[in-house]
Amino acid sequence: MIHIKDPAGYPMQTDDPTLFAHQHDGVVSWGAVFAGGVGAAAFALILLTLGTGLGLTALSPWSSGASNAKAFGFSAVVWVCVTAILASGLGGYLAGRLRRRWLTITADELHFRDTAHGFLSWAVATLLTAVILTSAASGAIHAGTQAAATTAGERGFSTMRGDADAALNTWPLGYLVDSLFRRPPSSQPAPAATNESPRREATRIFLNSAATGAQLSPDDASYLGQLVAQRTGLPPAAAQARVTTTYTNFVQKLAALDDAAKAAADRARKITIGASLWLFVSLLMGAFSASLLAIYGGRVRQL
């Protein structure tokens, strides 16, 4: 006759030696833990795929882009949290239900072991789905930073420093240089120019000063004023004023584009921080759900 204790801690007697042998079994049922982790990872993949499809159909082409992005971001956060709770809960329940029976431990120890099995199954599932979660997070970050990249790409002239021909065809420099040589409507039309050397030279002068954000030097401003006066027929003072105004507008456009790029980068940074925090919260929810459902599965297993 073997004297052991039941799960409530009361002594009991049995003639079955296999029950006594369970006292020497390993504490962790790794088979149940890995089974729960694999099940949770597979179920999470299914739910994330479903959520992707549902999220895309929730976007409306008739609403503004800002409201679309806000609604899609909120729904994505909710679905990630729901996925973590359901998938981790399934993994924890499987780990608790499939683990071996422990008949010689107290109720407190039984509760702790089931909680540990649920947590371990969540850890296994998290490691298995790390690549998927990383890809999803990278996609969200890429979507947030794409605006910044697009804005920066619009500043193609910054990669053309020293190439006046290419910069002359780039907005806004080409447009502003063209405005230098427009004749007033009251003046007589000038004959067609045979070459574009004044435009290219003016472009090079603008690029040389704008590269450092400095104002036009007095010599450059005076020289451009003469070129504009010869080409347009304006009085020297009016031509000089046009040069100064055009260059100032050009510098202001550069500053506005810089500010837009910085604002886009700041929005991308905030999106990255928000995505990381919500991912952390969803992981905590998953760990709690797995531990809780493992306790329930283990209780059913003990019956």
Residue spans of the domains in the chain: they are 2-150+277-302, 156-261
Contact 144, 128 (CB under 8 A): no
pLDDT tens per residue, the chain (303 residues)? 444 445 454 455 555 555 544 444 578 899 999 999 999 999 998 988 888 787 654 544 445 555 555 555 778 888 889 999 999 999 999 999 999 888 878 889 999 999 999 999 999 999 888 876 677 666 656 655 664 555 545 554 444 455 677 777 776 777 788 778 766 655 555 555 445 578 888 888 888 888 777 888 888 888 889 889 988 888 989 999 999 999 999 988 888 988 999 998 898 888 888 888 888 999 999 999 999 999 999 999 887
Tokens of 121: 């199954």
DSSP-assigned letter for residue 10 = -
The model's pTM: 0.59
Q: Which of 113, 126, 123, 121 is nearest to 295 (CA)?
A: 113
Burial of residue 157, with CB atoms counted within 10 A of its CB: 0-12 exposed, 13-18 middle, 19 or more buried: buried
- Mutual orientation of helices 218-232 and 197-210 as an angle, nearest 10°? 150
